[in-house]
Amino acid sequence: MELVRATEAAAIRSAPFIGKGDKLAADGAAVDAMRKFLGTVNFSGLVVIGEGEKDNAPMLFNGEEVGNGQGPACDIAVDPIDGTSLTAAGRGHAISMIAVADRGSMLDASSVFYMDKIVAGHEGIGVLDIRQSVEENIRALAAAKKKRVDDMRIAVLDRPRHAQLIEEIRATGAGTRIILDGDVAGGINAARHDSRIDMCIGTGGSPEGVATACAVKALGGFIQGRLAPGSDDEREKGEAAGLLFDHVYEANDLVRSDNTFFVATGVTDGELVRGVRREGEIITTESIVLRSRSGTVRRVIADHLVAKWLDS
């Protein structure tokens, strides 16, 4: 619940900027709120996946220490708003998120920005492989889920680099769910048992892949990643950091701990969680809390007095 308070705060503080066209203002408000509330959490947190380096403040930067210094030592991944462009445009599916695992267990892939990823529910385990063609993976997962291929729905980020991938998906007869931004939520939805999305595939952020793995482990789902450097210089930096290329990272490579938490609060309405709402003097938030050790998924709906936020 302490982590939920931090994502709730970030979502609430960013809400006034929804649809206002200023993603930096929205992000700044969310960062300030999340940092403030993380400072009260009973743990010694090290930001392994943040928003930048220290000299780019105000950000929750890589290497920043958060928490009150007591309790367990943890790695944390934060994104005060996953979907700043969505928030600024007033579109759906923006969330505020935190992922937590035991200290030293998260893969630090910050030196290589992009990663090819494939995410699905438990039916994908032993069936899917990122080295297979898109058609092979779709047909194999459809068979495992006992679904017709033309009933399959595949989530893909809306990026020019995915034009060929989208064509290949549709050529199988499967449908696409085009994500404008925020592939963390897309991956989680693919791993959920009650989602309309069967698989999430494509090239997205490497840090987001690690954060998604924390959630997927709690859901008992499937995830694989393969680093996709954009230049020889980036590959050299990754190799110097000990990262492996032409290598498939499994869930336990992305996050070695079996004790992971993933917390997200909706900023704008999405399939994962509803966005922040204000009715009169009440602000309502919806959050999701995933824990791998217990295999639990909890939803937290909270009402907040507006007056308390005006004074804080």
What residues are designated binding site for Mn(2+)?
27, 51, 79, 82, 208
Residue ranges of the annotated binding site are 27, 51, 79, 82-84, 114, 159-161, 181-183, 205, 208
Residue ranges of the annotated binding site for substrate are 82-84, 114, 159-161, 181-183, 205
**Which burial class, exposed, middle or buried, applies to 107 when counting CB atoms under 10 A from its CB (0-12, 13-18, 19+)?**
buried
Which residue type occupies 220? Answer: G
Q: Which of 130, 271, 179 is nearest to 141 (CA)?
A: 130
Written in H, E and C, the secondary structure of the chain is: CHHHHHHHHHHHHHHHHCCCCCHHHHHHHHHHHHHHHHCCCCCEEEEEECCCCHHHCCCCCCCCEECCCCCCEEEEEEEEEECHHHHHHCCCCCEEEEEEEECCCECCCCCCCEEEEEEECHHHCCCCCCCCCHHHHHHHHHHHHCCCHHHCEEEEECCHHHHHHHHHHHHCCCEEEEECCCHHHHHHHHHCCCCCCCEEEEEEEHHHHHHHHHHHHHHCCEEEEEECCCCHHHHHHHHHCCCCCCCCEEHHHHECCCCCEEEEEECCCCCCCCCCEEECCEEEEEEEEEECCCCEEEEEEEEEEHHHHHHC
**C-alpha to C-alpha distance for 43 and 66, rounded to whole angstroms:** 8
Phi, psi of 67 (to 5 degrees): 95, 180
